[in-house]
Every structure is written in structure tokens, then in C-alpha cells.
Amino acid sequence: MLNISVSRLISALLVMLGVSCLVFFLIHLVPGDPIEVMLGESAQLADREALRHALGLDLPLLTQLVNFFDGLLRLDLGVSLHSRQPVVDILLERVPATAELAVAALAVAVAVAFPLGILAAIRKDTLWDYTSMGVSLLGVSIPNFWLGPMLILLFSLWLGWLPVSGREGLASLVLPALTLGTAMAAILARMIRATLLEVLGEDFIRTARAKGLDERRVIGVHALRNALLPIITLLGLQLGVLLAGAVVTEIVFSWPGVGQVTIDAIQRRDYPLVQAAVLLISFTYVLVNTMTDLVYAWVDPRIRLQEGG
């Protein structure tokens, strides 16, 4: 297990290094001048050059890259060009909101997907199966930017049960979590059905039934436990997608998370803040996938044996 952990961590560090370089160069290739955005088109040339020098944007690109990595190693991601606040402080204020939304959406997805997937598998080719997979297909097909406003119209404007937007208590979390968790629930339900159907055809399941074990025990303990490995992988991947995909949902519901601050920073050409926000999302995605690999190896001893762990 130690060998696997070291190997996965080294791979994650290399990926993070590549992502950091890619983000730096892509941000600097984006059309638009942040100095012009900050000072306006009517600013004097001398004022523009003075501000450009003060922010270090007149340095060669390679020098800016070295300074960027030096600050990254010291967890100093610079200062926002717009608000003049440290970028780390801005992101630390927004991370809890995004994490809260991602965890709530994941809980919604798990709560919806497991019953649907299990029901579709044990009632294969029946009305229950067709209904479950139909709901799943509908969840995959509906985009967040359409589902969010529809939920707002129904539950906020027509029924008046939930807040329209913002982050004010548990009630304001319901609609964003439903919007973000629906698509994941649909994908997860189909995966649960497919893997469970495959396991239910194995010899050990027939043996368990032949011994007279209760069907709930056969499904819940023997079948579902052996079907969890691909489901764990999908959960890890989708959690990273939730953190990145929360951007659209945060904009729709005015949720004060990393996604919303990223869009604002892009519109203002705020290079340090955009870089930091994209890196945070990317690093979180890599970290979640690395942890998924480690959990997968811990759950399945065959992987540890194959890799000498």
C-alpha cells in the first residue's frame, strides 16, 4: 500500500506541475488588457505604463513564470488586480460555500441514485426498470442552466417555499444542490444498475441464494459490496466534476462560491485571481482522483498485489 501511495502522489505532483504551467500560459494568452480594464480606455499612457510596472506585467513572460512558481511554493498567489486583496484570502472566503454545495449535491446524487439503480437491477426488464432508467435519462439530458431556473420558477416564485438565490441558511441550499446533483444521480444510477446486473449473474450469488439467504442480504451484502469498486471510481470522478461544474449553478443561484468569483475575475481580466481559482479547481480535481485511486487499492487487495503494495 505504501508503494501505491508514493506512486500516486508522485503522479499527482507531476500533473499539478503541468497544470500550473498550462494555466499560467493560457491566462496570459487570453485577449484583453487588464490595465485597460482597471484604468479605462481614457487613461494616459504614462499611467498605464506605471501601473503595468507596479504589477510586474512588463517583465518577460519567463520571469513572470518563475515569480509565479516562487509564490506558489510559498502559498502566495499574489494580489487581486481589481480589489487589491490577497488572492488567498478571497478564495478562502469562497471555498466553504463551494464545498458545502458540492457535498450537498453529492448527498442528493447518492440518495437518488442508489435506490433507482438497485431497483432497476433487481426488477430488470419490468416497469420499475424502464421507469428508473427513464428518470435517469431525463436527468442526464437536462442541463443545469435550464433546470436551475425551472426549479426557481416552481419552488420559489410559484409556490414560495424556497429562496430564489443567495446563501442564507439551509433552505437556500436545496435548489442548487438539486440542480447540481441531478445529473450526477442519473449517471450514477445507470452505473449501479450495470455493475449490479453483472454481479448478480456470478456463481457466488447463485450459491448464496441456494443456501437460503434472505434476498435483502444477498443484494445488500454480497452483490452490492462486490459492485462498489467501479461505483467508487465514478463517485471520485464526479466529485471533481461537481467542484468544477458548480460554476454554472453558482451563477444561476448567485451562490457566493469559487465559481462565481472565477467568472467575475475573468470578466475583469484579473490574472492572479483567475490563475488561483483555476488552479484550486484543478488541484482539487487531481487530489480527489488520487484519493479515489488509494481508496480503490485499499478496497480491492488485487490491486495491491499487482503493484507490489
Q: For the CA atoms of 127, 130, 132, 135, what is the dihedral angle to 10 degrees?
A: -130
Question: Which of 167, 202, 182 has its CA nearest to residue 95?
Answer: 167
Residue 250 buriedness (CB in 10 A; 0-12 / 13-18 / 19+): buried
Half-sphere exposure of 223 (CA within 13 A, CB side): 29
Q: Which residue has cell 488567498?
A: 88
Cα 170 to Cα 259: distance, rounded to the nearest angstrom:
20
pLDDT band at 279 (very low <50, low <70, confident <90, very high): confident
Backbone angles phi, psi at 86, to 5 degrees: -60, 135
The top-scoring range by mean pLDDT among 12-21, 47-56, 67-76, 83-92 is: 83-92
Q: What is the residue extent of each domain of the chain? A: 1-73+270-309, 95-256
Q: CB under 8 Å to 79, separation ≥6 — which residues?
A: 85, 86, 87, 272
Third-level CATH fold of 95-256: MetI-like fold (1.10.3720)
Residue predicted with more confidence, 137 or 93: 93
| Alpha-carbon dihedral sign for residues 78, 21, 24, 246 | negative
Cα 305 to Cα 309: distance, rounded to the nearest angstrom:
6
Q: For the CA atoms of 8, 13, 18, 21, what is the dihedral angle to 10 degrees?
A: 160
Q: Which residue has cell 456470478?
A: 202
91-124 pLDDT, tens digit per residue, is 888 888 888 888 898 899 889 888 888 888 888 8
- pLDDT-above-70 percentage for the chain: 86
Residue 70 has pLDDT above 60, yes or no: yes
Residue 35 CB neighbour total at 10 angstroms: 20
| Assigned C-alpha cell, 88 | 488567498
| Assigned C-alpha cell, 75 | 502559498
According to the model, what pLDDT value does residue 297 have?
66
Contact 110, 102 (CB under 8 A): no
Question: Which of 92, 12, 65, 30 has its CA nearest to residue 277?
Answer: 92
Backbone angles phi, psi at 79, to 5 degrees: -120, 140
Half-sphere exposure of 283 (CA within 13 A, CB side): 13
Contact 298, 2 (CB under 8 A): no
9-43 pLDDT, tens digit per residue, is 777 788 888 888 887 787 777 666 666 666 666 77
